[in-house]
Structure 1
């Protein structure tokens, strides 16, 4: 049965049911909110956003790690009707500028830095006008829609509000005004927008409604048997659906406690699970591998763990065995989907056999349709025959922001979302993902679309042509290989290519392998055969063992 409720009303419902129960815990920061306290801070932040004149349907971008202000903003914007636009923490200037322009975001929240990326320096590079602007009155040539920049930090920055300013400004908006705004919101309204790369070479803003993600969160939680007694450790990033739908929203939907980790560190995750007695743990396979191989693993008491989700990348069966046997997560579930489907389409459940958990991605959620079709004819295929996986139901996105043609390509006239993934389904309805119609690379849970990286590398003056393909990797699942043809008369080195990429595209998109070649393998009709580039690279780079790794 589907819920017909907004995210703000869902939080109010859960806070009314479990006011004193812990809602949000940051063990590393000593921060703890009960559901009543969390509801209160979210209401205050919602009034703060309203005080800036932000209207229902306006787009607010957030560029931060899993800090407390991120999850507060998620529910605050949901309560006052702004659309939260999530920004990948690995983005650099080129990608950030595109996202802010394409999304028409009027407000940006950001932290100071992450790893080797200085966010403040990058936004100033794009918006030099910040140095002289009054907070809330930004007029940027390259980002004409952006008016407000809110710094999640303590040190005052030119042209920016502080997060503390936002909370103080909330006093100028009454609680009655906020409630009145919340009452105007409808479950079918778009409330979340996540950017996913596209085969066009440009990221697309996936518009998701309250209905989309509330119901997906409920179904994801149900497959894990989550309830108010559970405590979910969330080390996966909030900017992905994995973090903010399957993670925080699934907790609020069930009364479970959110226990985020600000930025993934395997030792910290193990410590948080042990100290907070977490019952569920989320991660992509590379995260679980890092935890299993951490020096402190053998000393940790992880006996509280019962369930969780492994998703975001193909799961090696040996990793699954270790998660069950060594970490003791006997009810671990595998989930499959994509941002356009809010995100989960299929998921295993605790009662599934070990074989099902390691060889399939489970069955469709209740209320979801899925089928495997012939990519050429569109005919539905029988069990066991490989084709494209399509899905239909409440979970299908509202569309891509300001991209009607791309939306029409993804969702057909009968409402079926075409995933671009190749799959088979057995007689009992269990799906297995067997490949991709698209050339998408999945590196450690991050989706990389070759065309996007190719478009960027084409801007290098010495590069005549470039083909990006994925090659197998035992740790990350796949790595990026660039096959480059250099312009006649020019010389180019791997080091030059890597230097050109640094600081301009996200680190996970930078090629791990670079090969220079005079020509590409072609079909008789002149199409480049990327699969042959991949096969040759596997042979030449000695990646056969990684290629043979069994996955679900």
Structure 2
């Protein structure tokens, strides 16, 4: 079945097709030693788009992709957009609760899954929705009874991605095709990607950082993506050396682990000589680790600051700044807007701290099926409340100094304390619980649960219970049994006091 001609509406599939026509023989992807040219990838996108239409996909239908990063992931994502579908990205490591929630809430017509995903779990979670293999990709049919997309969106829906924050469930973020393409185009522009670049993508492509900010930014610039499925230091260093990579993006933890590995190995630093740009985002900087990386590799680590609700926002142009400014995330990118407001909603003077509000082409359409939360974070005049405390200096450098929420950031991934607390409380031996993030040298923060038991509590049994309900990265690294939890004047748990007490206890042990 032939795919309908591309419309004039801009999207990443049309943009990629234009690059493929221009340089069909250039390598687009290197995936586990396999080279895929732009022309070959475009042919596979067309095949998959035709298969989707042949299975009954209609414009606006949602297709859930539960898969590891790979060439097939990108081919499928672009094929969904090529056939005018809506892509729903779901982490393949999701535990049962998260997977069921994501599929129930997004209500897709088809689920596409890679081989590594637990098949029995997926079938149970999909509840009758057809499931297709990512690798062979031969969907037979799609559901025809799913709910329509919201009718009041300012632009057509193109992508739903999930991002945990301060709520007890992951938030389903709705993005337009323009927002996704603007993200890719902007990073490609500011980071000066071109056909000579070869960028390592070790971030999950289910995350906007791994999909749009890096993979699509590289591809739409005519550059090559080197897929590394696991951000293990030995795999990354091998990919840099063998692939002659020029670009590496990760979270702070990625570079911290690389530094530890390099300092404990005899690897010749010349193997890193091809790198020209390294970027970290998603969690606070580790200046000590970044400086050690710069000494080892000769390349500084720049920042990227934004959220999936409004991206891109802040990063560095390496042609303007050869070194990052200490403590700063960078400067505002083209087409994005940022203002810093006080508690009264008025803008604060330059240099003062306030809440960051952002806007621009990358602002989300809203949260799927959550108009109340959408109204809470989107102002009437089109600004997104980041809930981050930020200041901007007189040269335009942006400093993220804190967060209004209690969100835990572990290896660049947001973890909601409320979600973890909800699961811990389900155990019959637990009376009260407070979950918080404590400093961790490798992961930035570790998840710690302070538990007041009802009676005798077997901590190993509690841990087993939690692991049965939560995705692995959300499971507490430590359970601390306490007699009571500190509270403030309003009766709420005093998390700051509790964190200080637990840190002091840890230092004394």
Deviations 1:382-411 (A, max 9, x none): 122221111011111011111111111111
Deviations 1:10-35 (A, max 9, x none): 01111122222111111x2x322211
1:79–1:280 distance in 2 versus 1, CA, 3 Å = same
**Distance change (3 Å), C-alpha of 1:539 and 1:87:** same
The 5 Å alignment of 1:453-492 reads 453-487=420-454, 490-492=455-457
**Counterpart for residue 326 of structure 1:** 296
**Aligned CA distance change for structure 1 residues 444 and 543 (closer, same or farther; 3 Å):** farther
CA distance in 1, matches of 2:270, 2:428: 52
- CA distance in structure 2 between the partners assigned to 1:493 and 1:289 by the alignment: 34
Asked if 1:345 is matched to 2:292, the reply is no
The alpha-carbon deviation at position 111 of structure 1 amounts to: 2.4
**In structure 1, how many angstroms separate the alpha carbons of the residues matched to 2:323 and 2:436?**
31
Equivalent position of 1:8 in the other structure = 13
8 Å Cα contact 2:257/2:442 also seen in 1? no
**Residue aligning to 1:179:** none
List gaps (5 residues or longer) in structure 1: 128-139, 141-145, 154-162, 171-185, 545-552
Partner of 1:134 in structure 2? none
Verify the 8 A CA contact 1:6 1:187 in the aligned structure 2.
Answer: no
Q: For the residues of structure 2 that align with 1:122 and 1:199, how far apart are their CA atoms?
A: 27
Residue aligning to 1:503: 468
C-alpha displacement of 1:40: 0.8
CA contact (8 A) 2:103 2:125 kept: no
State how 1:67-466 maps to structure 2 within 5 Å: 67-113=70-116, 119-126=118-125, 140=127, 146-152=128-134, 163-166=136-139, 188-294=155-261, 295=265, 297-298=267-268, 301-330=271-300, 332-342=301-311, 344-351=312-319, 356-374=324-342, 376-466=343-433
Counterpart for residue 20 of structure 1 = 25
Over 4 Å off, 4+ runs: 351-355
Change (3 A) 1:437 1:98: same
Quickly say closer, same or farther: Cα 1:296–1:88, change in 2 above 3 A: farther
Match of 1:536 in 2: 501
CA distance in structure 1 between the aligned counterparts of 2:237 and 2:465, rounded to whole angstroms: 37
Normalising to structure 2: TM-score of the pair? 0.91
Whether 1:39 and 2:21 are equivalent positions in the alignment is: no
Paired residue for 1:177? Answer: none
TM-fit CA distance, 1:110: 1.6
Which secondary structure does the structure 1 equivalent of 2:297 belong to?
A: coil
Q: Is the 8 A contact 1:197 1:452 kept in 2?
A: no
For 1:121 and 1:66, the matched residues in 2 are separated by 21
Distance 2:404 2:26 in 1: 46
The corresponding residue for 2:483 is 518
| Inter-CA distance 396–450: structure 2 relative to 1 (3 Å threshold) | same
Residues 202-237 of structure 1 show CA distances to partners (whole Å, capped at 9, x for unaligned) of 111101111111111111122211111111111111
Deviation at 1:512, TM superposition (A): 1.2
1:159-183 alpha-carbon deviations (Å, 9 max, x no partner): xxxx2434xx79xxxxxxxxxxxxx
So what's the TM-score if we normalise by structure 1?
0.84
Q: Distance in 1 between matches of 2:508 and 2:48?
A: 50
CA contact 1:224–1:308 (8 Å) conserved in 2: no
- Say if 1:411 and 1:187 are closer, same or farther in 2 by CA, change over 3 A: closer
- What is the Cα deviation at residue 299 of structure 1? 6.5
1:48 pairs with 2:51: yes
What stretches of structure 2 of length at least 5 have no aligned partner?
A: 1-7, 142-152
CA spacing shift, 1:81–1:502, aligned 2, 3 Å: same
What is the root-mean-square deviation in Å for CA atoms of aligned residues?
2.2
Secondary structure of the 2:502 match is helix
- Secondary structure (helix, strand or coil) at the match of 1:419 reads strand
